[in-house]
Amino acid sequence: MNTFIQLMISGIAIGLIYALAALGVVVVYKATKVLNLAPGGLLLIAAYLAWMFLVQFKFPVPVAIIAAIAASALIGWGIERVTLRPLIGQPILASIILTDMIWFFFRGSTFLFWGGNPRMFPAWLAGRPTVFIGKIGIPEIMIWCIIISSLTIIALMAYFKFTRSGLAMRVTAEDVIVSENLGIKITRVFSNTWIICVLLFLITAYFVGAMQGISQDLDFIGVYGIIVALLGGLESFPGAIIAGLVIGIVQAMVGGYLTGVLGGGIVDTAPFILMFFMSFWRPYGFLGLERIERI
């Protein structure tokens, strides 16, 4: 039983990280209808920026975090301004592949600037102790991850529901041309979206870096982020959380109980097998909108 609970906890931890990475995909899709395939690269660049200010430049902690936020926001703005704005009105597939190229670009850049060696966050972030309840250990960073990711999600949903610019995003998602006619500046909406997206990846990057260290392998988490967003439904924040937890727990359980029978590779493959069958049952994801179409 203890093993089960322990596996469950590690599954929830990794699931939350997938869910956070998926939020960046969902927020972009909600506002711009572009499937964001860049989470791998954005997660990498955010993690390395956070690391750079904290460890490489040895800024004091608050300054380092503010600097990382500023740099991430700048990157988000730049992505929208330089690459995606010219593609407004072009076929959607072009934008999607473009986001994918952003992934490769940042993956290459992190190689170029920081090399392939794994990096670690300082001890106050990465070396948090493990809290024991009875015999079950829960890493403290995970508790923080649960708290902060819940707060982030609530804040995001509130932003979309109650603020003017959130409303503008929802309108833009519905119909670009109509929203332009209504006097919404869609370029500003799009750049806001991308800034929020990169900031979300910065939050994710702090937790991922604390749990697993920073290396180029992080972009695999980005791939899972895309998958989780699709599985949860592209329009839904709660869906992303549910799907992230499902995938995380499935992975942990399979890793704990089935690797002996099915081999180590099943850990990475099980979510994909699950998803393949999911696409028959709920092709729009858990909580995604099933669009009723007409000719």
Interface residues with another protein (CB under 8 A) are: 35, 37, 83, 86-87, 90-91, 93-94, 96-98, 100-102, 104-105, 107-109, 111-112, 115-116, 223, 226-227, 230-231, 234, 262-266, 268-269, 272-273, 275-276, 278-280, 283-285, 293-295
The least distance separating another protein from the CB of residue 66, rounded to whole angstroms, comes to: 28
Cβ nearer to another protein, comparing 204 with 216: 216
What gap in Å lies between CA 65 and CA 50, rounded to an integer? 7
Cβ nearer to another protein, comparing 46 with 69: 46
Cβ nearer to another protein, comparing 81 with 170: 81
Helices (H), the chain: 2-32, 39-51, 61-78, 92-114, 123-126, 140-162, 164-174, 176-181, 186-212, 219-232, 237-257, 259-262, 266-281
Cβ nearer to another protein, comparing 33 with 170: 33
What gap in Å lies between CA 172 and CA 190, rounded to an integer? 9
Cβ nearer to another protein, comparing 207 with 224: 224
What gap in Å lies between CA 169 and CA 92, rounded to an integer? 18
- The β-bridge partners of 139 are 130
Helices (H), 79-185: 92-114, 123-126, 140-162, 164-174, 176-181
Cβ nearer to another protein, comparing 127 with 264: 264
- The β-bridge partners of 132 are 137
Q: Quick count: other Cβ atoms within 10 Å of Cβ 165?
A: 15
The torsion region of residue 117 among left (phi > 0), alpha (psi -120 to 50) and beta comes to beta
The least distance separating another protein from the CB of residue 223, rounded to whole angstroms, comes to: 7
The least distance separating another protein from the CB of residue 97, rounded to whole angstroms, comes to: 5
The least distance separating another protein from the CB of residue 244, rounded to whole angstroms, comes to: 15
The least distance separating another protein from the CB of residue 220, rounded to whole angstroms, comes to: 9
* 8 Å CB contact between 104 and 216: no
The least distance separating another protein from the CB of residue 16, rounded to whole angstroms, comes to: 21
Cβ nearer to another protein, comparing 96 with 148: 96
* 8 Å CB contact between 30 and 173: yes
The least distance separating another protein from the CB of residue 150, rounded to whole angstroms, comes to: 26
